[in-house]
């Protein structure tokens, strides 16, 4: 039987009773929007992330848009964004009227390159563009280098925002990224395949700023004021429904143990494959949540052969991401630094292995066993 890349069913199968009970409780009380589980989940998120405010919303893209609105992004403001990420990161900037300025990535972490970021800031200044902020993406579950990012931000009067869609639960220098210790505001996604995923769409924004919290809560509900039908600003409809909140309450109980299991699997993968491929950078002071475990080949033809070899043994592999944003049709007219060589090379040579805290011992053994067959 072919292995699943991310086995979303297995968690439910192992904890069926708890999930069925929490869903049944919502069906019994019938408060499908703004039910008590939504408030409870937000409170749990705040405690888990050690942040003052956690505001849930409809999905991860909406979380990015709401966060940018809370940062008061203005038309034609420039936001520096890594080019190797999912489109939503740049899409949110454009939806808010801003201009994404694409930056290359680090050769080892695949997160934002500090050298390239400095070049982008300099280039934006040369072009007389109005730079406003930086979105650091915690790609594959590893925290960006917020210490270095913040140094650049402070030197250039920029705010820092974390796109933690793949990295919810990751830490930098012992601080949870979503605690906003190293950024002004953070967002995440609860898309089913994320490390903490629901049974549909969902997202959240994290902040320690009271005014930002109040603004986001208004914006996510059509810009409402203190009264339901007194809309004080133009907003949107982006609420996490009660059923998803109920599911996420149960999933958050399991999450700390799942992070440990993900790291144990990643350690075994690295031991098996580091002599054959470029393995992911092992975080030392930081905790990675391994949204994906990504290896890198020497060239595109080698990747094709390796992925076919895995596939022939019933082991799925996926490419994240086959084309950087600055090369995609919708985004190629936006500015970027002149040298984007790392993300262009990485997109042609990386591939990801199955990663789930619910991989069986046999499945992990099958994946690791490929190291001998590929020698």
Class of domain 8-250: alpha beta
Asked whether the beta carbons of 163 and 85 are under 8 A apart, the reply is: yes
What average pLDDT values come out for the chain (375 residues) when binned by 10 residues? 89 97 98 97 98 98 98 98 98 98 98 98 98 98 97 98 98 96 97 97 98 98 90 96 98 98 97 96 88 97 97 97 98 98 98 97 97 86
Whats the size of the chain, residue-wise?
A: 375
How many beta carbons lie within 10 A of that of residue 122, not counting itself?
Answer: 12
171 vs 43: CA distance, rounded Å = 20
Q: Do domains 8-250 and 255-373 have the same CATH topology?
A: no
Domain ranges of the chain: 8-250, 255-373
Interaxial angle between packed helices 16-29 and 36-49, expressed in degrees from 0 to 180 and rounded to the nearest 10: 130
What is residue 227's predicted lDDT score, i.e. its pLDDT?
Answer: 84
Compute φ and ψ for 209, nearest 5 degrees.
Answer: -100, 120
The secondary structure element, H or E, covering residue 129 is: none
What is residue 1's predicted lDDT score, i.e. its pLDDT?
Answer: 60
pTM of the model: 0.97
Class of domain 255-373: alpha beta
What is residue 282's predicted lDDT score, i.e. its pLDDT?
Answer: 77
Burial degree of 270 (CB within 10 A; 0-12, 13-18, 19+): middle
The alpha carbon of 93 is separated from its chain's Cα centroid by a whole number of angstroms, namely 16
Asked whether the beta carbons of 191 and 144 are under 8 A apart, the reply is: no
Question: How many Å from the N-terminal Cα to the C-terminal Cα in the chain?
Answer: 25
């Amino acid at each position: 039987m072919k292995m699943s890349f991310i086995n979303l069913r297995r968690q439910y199968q192992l904890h069926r009773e708890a999930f069925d009970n929490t869903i049944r409780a919502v069906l019994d009380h019938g408060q499908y929007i703004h039910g008590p589980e939504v408030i409870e989940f937000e409170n749990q998120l705040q405690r888990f992330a050690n942040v003052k405010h956690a505001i849930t919303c409809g999905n991860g893209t909406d979380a990015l848009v709401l966060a940018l609105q809370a940062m008061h992004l203005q038309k034609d403001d420039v936001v520096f964004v890594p080019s190797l990420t999912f489109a939503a990161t740049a899409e949110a900037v454009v939806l808010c009227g801003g201009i994404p300025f694409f930056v290359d990535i680090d050769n080892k972490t695949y997160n934002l390159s500090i050298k390239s970021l400095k070049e982008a800031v300099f280039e934006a200044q040369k072009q007389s563009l109005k730079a406003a902020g930086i979105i650091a993406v915690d790609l594959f579950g590893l925290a960006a280098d917020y210490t270095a990012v913040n140094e650049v931000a402070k030197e250039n009067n920029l705010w820092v925002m974390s796109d933690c869609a793949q990295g919810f639960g990751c830490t930098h220098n012992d601080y949870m990224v979503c605690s906003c210790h190293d950024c002004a505001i953070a967002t995440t996604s609860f898309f089913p395949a994320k490390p903490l995923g629901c049974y549909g769409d969902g997202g959240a924004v994290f902040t320690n700023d009271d005014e930002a919290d109040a603004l986001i809560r208004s914006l996510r509900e059509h810009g409402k004021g203190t009264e339901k039908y007194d809309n004080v600003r133009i907003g949107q409809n982006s609420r996490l429904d009660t059923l998803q909140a109920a599911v996420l309450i149960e999933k958050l109980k399991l999450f700390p143990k799942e992070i440990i299991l993900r790291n144990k699997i990643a350690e075994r993968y690295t031991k098996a494959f580091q002599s054959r491929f470029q393995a992911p950078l092992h975080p030392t002071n930081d905790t990675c949540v391994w949204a994906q475990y990504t290896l890198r080949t020497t060239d595109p033809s080698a990747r094709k052969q390796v992925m076919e070899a895995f596939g022939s043994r019933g082991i799925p592999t996926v490419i994240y991401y086959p084309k950087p944003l600055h090369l995609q049709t919708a985004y190629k007219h936006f500015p970027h630094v002149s040298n984007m060589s790392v993300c262009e090379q990485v997109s042609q040579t990386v591939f990801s292995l199955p990663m789930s805290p619910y991989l069986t011992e046999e499945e992990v053994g099958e994946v690791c066993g490929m190291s001998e067959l590929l020698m």
